[in-house]
Amino acid sequence: MSNISYTSTGRRKNAVARIKISDGSGKIIINNKTIDEYFGGLGRLKKVALKPFDFWNGVGNYNFYVNVKGGGISGQAGAISHSLARAILKLDEPSKAALKKGGFLTRDSRMVERKKAGRPKARKRFQFSKR
């Protein structure tokens, strides 16, 4: 097997995930921790992050090294998912249709709405008093 090395980037909310792929045995390392250490007891977020693997069967042939920063743990899981999908696309072009149908190649543009002046939060208003 040749020494393959690819990189890809994924984003969600304020989180940015960068993935480096190399030949290997299927290890997934996030910020120098295993995926179980990184997400701890948050199994739901681990599933979110690894969802693109459900549409691809070449997981065991490559190692994935993820560097993720910014945002919270939920946004980071979404960013990892987006980045993994883009990385899989570089490795296996025919899987594009399945990944696209699953919605993994589209960047989720939803962001936190900014706080407005004269209000306590973005949409919340102070209590109205008639008298």
pLDDT of res. 2: 57
Within a domain: 43 = yes
Q: Is residue 11 part of a domain?
A: yes
Report if residue 16 sits inside a domain: yes
Q: What is the pLDDT of residue 42?
A: 87
Is residue 85 a part of any domain in this protein? yes
* Any domain includes 129: no
Percentage above 70 pLDDT, the chain: 98
In a domain, 131, yes or no: no
Name the domain count of the chain.
1
Count Cα neighbours of 72 within 13 Å in the Cβ-side half-sphere: 5
Q: Strands, E, within 13-125: which ranges? A: 15-23, 28-30, 33-34, 62-69
Structural domain contains residue 123: no
* Domain that residue 35 falls in: 5-101
pLDDT at residue number 87: 92
31: CATH? 3.30.230.10
How many CB atoms are closer than 10 A to CB 7?
A: 14
Assigned domain for 84 exists:
yes
- pLDDT band for position 119 (cuts 50, 70, 90): very high
pLDDT digits (tens, 9 = 90+) for 14-62: 999 999 999 888 899 999 999 999 999 888 999 999 999 998 877 778 8
Q: What is the pLDDT of residue 1?
A: 47
